[in-house]
Structure 1
Amino acid sequence: MHINALQQTYKNKTTIMMIFESLVLCFLSLLLLSPFAISEQCNPQDKKALLQIKKEFNTSITLQNLWDPKTDCCIWVWIQCHPTTNRVIGLVMKFDEPSNDIVGHIPSSVAQLPYLEHLEFNNLSKLSGTINPVISNLKHLKYLVISFTSISGTIPSFLSRFQNLEVLDLSFNKLSGIIPSSLSQLPNIRLLNLGNNKLTGQIPNSFGSFKKPGPEIYLSNNHLTGLIPASLGQIDSETINLSENKLEGDASMLFGNKKRIMRLDLSRNLLSFDLSKVDLPKSLTFLHLDHNYIYGKIPQVLNKVNALERFNVSYNLLCGEIPQGGDLQRFGVFAFYHNKCLCGSPLPKCKS
């Protein structure tokens, strides 16, 4: 009887322990799933700043539905948190289609996210006003994207203070005025996109002093005038797009057979230089020179640029026979027509 009693006691204790362990596991599971537990992952100050941003965009139905103050801000849409510290490092408000839901100016509360590395407002057609100077407080910024918005005013010179900035994309806005020469002081910039705005004046001479090899530069579809600074030939960028402006004169300094440039678009300007004297790099995949006043002959070396995928020299003053025996003919007549006296396939034969 004594042994049976001990066995029964052991069974009872085992059962109690199993029940206790099950309860603990259930409690932990509920705790992990509860809004209270999740909210603990988010830094309270960061969460407060985000809720203030939500308040500044108080007409946004999207934010009202998505940014629930009872949940962890690190799981909110458009928010990125550091995997170790849980500090907010990304505020990426990006839509696939133009959105009218976010209305107002760039919130001043973004300055209360001190560890922000990626700030993006993309496809917010009702975002207006100027580039808020409070952004200058975000010392850790690596990516600043304000694109496809109604932001206006000038490009602020304080942007040159971002020593960690790798991407500056201010394209497709309503920015005006001149391009700050101080942008060339950005030591880590890899992409500079100021295209599709209303910028005026000349390309800053200082752009030749970007740290080599130099960033990809997009200044297309603005109102830029004057000469391309000779200093711009000192950098070795993979992409330079200066199309759809009113730039004049020589652009031959952008070429060079030892350069690594792959994409060069100078179309729809007022440029005038002798193409036959230009050294073309074999790395080219994209070359658009159409709608200018470029003269001379098409260099034979273009037949050896096997990587060339896009090519257009139409609407210029070029003469002579189009180089034969290579791949240039595959671009068709539209890549060559409306020149002074170009001839040969795919255009009509040259007169003897």
Structure 2
Amino acid sequence: MLKFYTNVVLSLLFFFHYASAITSDGLSLLSVKSGVDGGATVLSDWNDNDDTPCHWTGVTCANISGVSDPCVVGLALAGRNLRGYIPSELGNLMYLRRLNLHDNNFHGSIPDQIFNATSLHSIFLSGNNLSGELPSSICNPPRLQNIDLSHNSLSGTIQKFLGNCRELQRLILAGNEFSGEIPAGVFPELANLVQLDLSSNYLNGSLPYDIGQLKSLSGTLNISFNHFTGKLPESLGDLPLTVSFDLRHNNFSGEIPQTGSFTNQGPTAFLNNPSLCGLPLQKTCRDSSSESPPGTKNFTPATGVDGSKKGLRPGLIVLISLADAFGVALIGLVIIFLYRRKKDSNECSCTYKVRFGGNQKSKLCSFPCVSGFPTTDSEAESEKGDVVSGGGVSGGGGEEGELVAIDKGFSIELDELLRASAYVLGKSGLGIVYKVVLGNGIPVAVRRLGEGGEQRYKEFVAEVQAIGRVKHPNVVKLRAYYWAPDEKLLISDFISNGNLASALRGRTSTVLTWSTRLKITKGTARGLAYLHECSPRKFVHGDIKPSNILLDNEHQPYISDFGLNRLIDITGNNMSSGGFMGGGLSYLKSTQTEKVNNYRAPEARVSSNRPTQKWDVYSFGIVLLELLTGKSPELSSPTTSTSTEIPDLVKWVRKAFEEETPLSDMVDPMLLKEVHAKKEVLTVFHLALACTEQDPEIRPRMKTVSENLEKLRT
């Protein structure tokens, strides 16, 4: 009996020690771990004998005034394959500001208790299987700014209590099962709303007229793929001019108003609303005066003397049918002939889709059609440029190397490449780049990747094939590759007018007027959006900066160097040996002083993080700021630093806007003469600041950025 009491006392002592060893936030998180399937594996470092949870996976802490221990302010467990119900104990984290559980397998309803965490300002639960209605307590946190519940199975109606989220900036409910009408009175309360996405639900009825009071809205107003009816409210025209509409696949009717923001929309904004008419649709509205006036005879079939209706004779019907069949067959043969002839060069199907193909099955990707895409190989050859882009297809992997052309319109022999005149363009961690002039006088860029990687031949092939299928007028075109155990080369178009970095620093003859800068930003955005949305692998570039944006003589931009990091990893990039193809060129002895890459997103500077498309969005935003201000974000060595280099360009611009600094003190002095561009400059500033948000979840997609840039006149 004494032994029994001893064990009880020891157990109680252990419990009290455990309870006092960890903070209350830690206890709440441990209940999350125990209540979620997969938590024991994913959250293996969440230990109950730790003093604090602040170093646990996905947990962020901060010191709060008046609280002795650091408090949990962030929980990010996105894409961890966690299953089960969302634990209500999360509501005990009173200082939790950011909850990110998107892309898991949570099911059931969203617990009301979560919103007891009154410090909450962002909640991301997209990509789960949550059901039920929106909790009525969702607006309890007074500073709630971001709600993303997209791509779940939530249902019910849009309730008027959403208007209580007065600090809300982003409301994303796309891809759920919400139905019913949107009540009036919600939108006027959301004065700070920047993004609204209600697409792919079952919402119906007419749009409330007060939707035009969302004066802070930017980007895209997306209510596509619903069942909205009635006329489009003219108040939509009161939204900011930079807002894009996506009203596709609804049942709106009547004439599209021609006021305000309506005049800035393209036809894609209104597609698949059968009863809509007027500009920009190619469907005129039928006026009552165009109907047949009274007394006009209607066409009726002729009748015979016996009163029966006359019809076509059977023989004539057969002849007409045969003629129709022959005509259809002839048209089909012509279409097949034209398709085969242009299959390898046509990338754009001008029904506001971009087509890409090659040897894979052709596939359509919803993205605005880019005009000016080369339709023949000769036209493609006329748009050449500067540094290489990336990969190809491998030919063998044997001891002797093989040169393989990826593009069918490109022909080159290994002997010709060896004999060609060439000189070094530059050297970096991504290999040496040479300009090589072929026998026909056409220059190409050749990148030497390295000497290793012979054991990873198939891996190299897979990567190069994926890169080789990328075809876009604003992405450098890969033409061929060379594989041998001791040498790997990539042959790409040579772009003739240097890169944007050189143009910004006055090292080329390019004069960066506002129209030129806008042309460069639009083309770069189109190319990046294609890589993100339409390319075979939906690539992440990972290193967007001015030196990787090449310019031709018409100032058309080309994105280079995408996909190279993976290839460099495969080949090893052993740069120790000099020469090219067995010593044909001298080794580049001097290299540029290494600079800190301040174009990279904050999360990209953590080596353990995997690249995401939002990294590219941030980098593109920095490029925009540099084009606008003329100031470089790079940190140079003390001997090369200049007054135009600003270590944190984003903070500098944000502070200038907060202090209402005159625009003339912020923009590049070269732009001051173009007073007419003030409105466009301000719009691009706001886009750049949206791209450079610290929180990657808040940054827009490149497709949205590109669509907004396209609305600005060049």
Match of 1:57 in 2: 36
Partner-residue secondary structure (3-state), 1:123: coil
CA contact (8 A) 2:169 2:192 kept: no
Partner-residue secondary structure (3-state), 1:128: strand
Match of 1:334 in 2: 351
Match of 2:409 in 1: none
Match of 1:199 in 2: 178
CA contact (8 A) 2:125 2:148 kept: yes
1:297 to 253, 274, 279: 279
Match of 1:118 in 2: 98
Match of 1:133 in 2: 112
In structure 2, how many angstroms separate the alpha carbons of the residues matched to 1:54 and 1:61?
7
Q: Does 1:244 align with 2:225?
A: yes
In structure 2, how many angstroms separate the alpha carbons of the residues matched to 1:52 and 1:218?
34
Deviation at 1:262, TM superposition (A): 2.2
Q: How many residues align?
A: 267
Deviation at 1:294, TM superposition (A): 1.7
Deviation at 1:285, TM superposition (A): 9.3
Q: Does 1:209 align with 2:188?
A: yes
2:77 partner letter: M
Match of 1:157 in 2: 136
Partner-residue secondary structure (3-state), 1:160: coil
2:144 partner letter: L
Aligned CA distance change for structure 1 residues 179 and 276 (closer, same or farther; 3 Å): closer
Match of 2:73 in 1: 89
Instruction: Could you list the structure 1 runs, at least 4 aligned residues long, displaced by more than 4 angstroms after superposition.
Output: 281-287
CA contact (8 A) 2:268 2:352 kept: no
Deviation at 1:277, TM superposition (A): 2.7
1:188 partner letter: E
Deviation at 1:258, TM superposition (A): 7.0
Match of 2:237 in 1: 256
Deviation at 1:149, TM superposition (A): 0.6
Deviation at 1:79, TM superposition (A): 0.7
In structure 2, how many angstroms separate the alpha carbons of the residues matched to 1:258 and 1:184?
18
Aligned CA distance change for structure 1 residues 253 and 156 (closer, same or farther; 3 Å): farther
2:173 partner letter: L
In structure 2, how many angstroms separate the alpha carbons of the residues matched to 1:43 and 1:283?
57
Match of 1:302 in 2: none
Deviation at 1:120, TM superposition (A): 2.0
Aligned CA distance change for structure 1 residues 211 and 179 (closer, same or farther; 3 Å): closer
In structure 2, how many angstroms separate the alpha carbons of the residues matched to 1:287 and 1:279?
18
1:222 partner letter: N
Query: Residues 297-316 of structure 1: matches in 2 within 5 Å?
Result: 297-298=279-280
Q: What CA deviation, in whole Å up to 9, does each residue of 1:280-306 have, x standing for no partner? A: 3687699622111321232xxxxxxxx
1:68 to 29, 39, 47: 47
2:162 to 172, 183, 187: 183
1:103 to 83, 95, 99: 83
- What is the RMSD of the two structures over their aligned residues, measured on CA atoms? 3.1
In structure 2, how many angstroms separate the alpha carbons of the residues matched to 1:272 and 1:257?
20
Q: Does 1:267 align with 2:267?
A: no
- Which structure 2 residue ranges, 5 or more long, are not aligned? 1-17, 287-347, 354-370, 373-714
Aligned CA distance change for structure 1 residues 285 and 111 (closer, same or farther; 3 Å): farther
2:191 partner letter: K
Partner-residue secondary structure (3-state), 2:248: coil
Match of 1:166 in 2: 145
In structure 2, how many angstroms separate the alpha carbons of the residues matched to 1:194 and 1:106?
18
Partner-residue secondary structure (3-state), 1:168: strand
CA contact (8 A) 1:185 1:210 kept: yes
CA contact (8 A) 1:57 1:103 kept: yes
Q: What CA deviation, in whole Å up to 9, does each residue of 1:6-26 have, x standing for no partner? A: xxxxxxxxxxxxxxxxxxxxx
CA contact (8 A) 2:112 2:136 kept: no
Q: Does 1:219 align with 2:198?
A: yes
Match of 2:531 in 1: none
Partner-residue secondary structure (3-state), 1:294: strand
1:50 partner letter: L
Q: What CA deviation, in whole Å up to 9, does each residue of 1:82-133 have, x standing for no partner? A: 15652001112212xxx5x4121011211221111111211012x1110111
Q: Does 1:231 align with 2:201?
A: no
In structure 1, how many angstroms separate the alpha carbons of the residues matched to 2:228 and 2:24?
49
Partner-residue secondary structure (3-state), 1:109: helix
Match of 1:23 in 2: none
Partner-residue secondary structure (3-state), 2:228: strand
Deviation at 1:157, TM superposition (A): 1.6
Partner-residue secondary structure (3-state), 2:351: helix
1:273 partner letter: G
In structure 1, how many angstroms separate the alpha carbons of the residues matched to 2:147 and 2:76?
14
1:49 partner letter: S
CA contact (8 A) 2:213 2:239 kept: no
Partner-residue secondary structure (3-state), 1:280: helix
Q: Give % identity.
A: 25
CA contact (8 A) 2:116 2:140 kept: no
Aligned CA distance change for structure 1 residues 167 and 284 (closer, same or farther; 3 Å): farther
1:92 partner letter: A
Deviation at 1:60, TM superposition (A): 2.8
In structure 1, how many angstroms separate the alpha carbons of the residues matched to 2:169 and 2:113?
23
Partner-residue secondary structure (3-state), 1:155: coil
Partner-residue secondary structure (3-state), 1:156: coil
Match of 1:146 in 2: 125
Output the TM-score relative to the length of structure 2.
0.35
Partner-residue secondary structure (3-state), 1:259: coil
Partner-residue secondary structure (3-state), 1:233: helix
Aligned CA distance change for structure 1 residues 61 and 232 (closer, same or farther; 3 Å): same
Deviation at 1:265, TM superposition (A): 0.8
1:47 partner letter: G
- Counting strand residues as a fraction of each chain, which structure ranks higher? 1
2:71 partner letter: R
Partner-residue secondary structure (3-state), 1:139: coil
Aligned CA distance change for structure 1 residues 211 and 223 (closer, same or farther; 3 Å): closer
Match of 2:258 in 1: 277
Partner-residue secondary structure (3-state), 1:152: strand
Match of 1:20 in 2: none
2:109 partner letter: T
CA contact (8 A) 1:160 1:186 kept: yes
In structure 1, how many angstroms separate the alpha carbons of the residues matched to 2:267 and 2:278?
20
In structure 2, how many angstroms separate the alpha carbons of the residues matched to 1:67 and 1:178?
39
Aligned CA distance change for structure 1 residues 135 and 216 (closer, same or farther; 3 Å): same
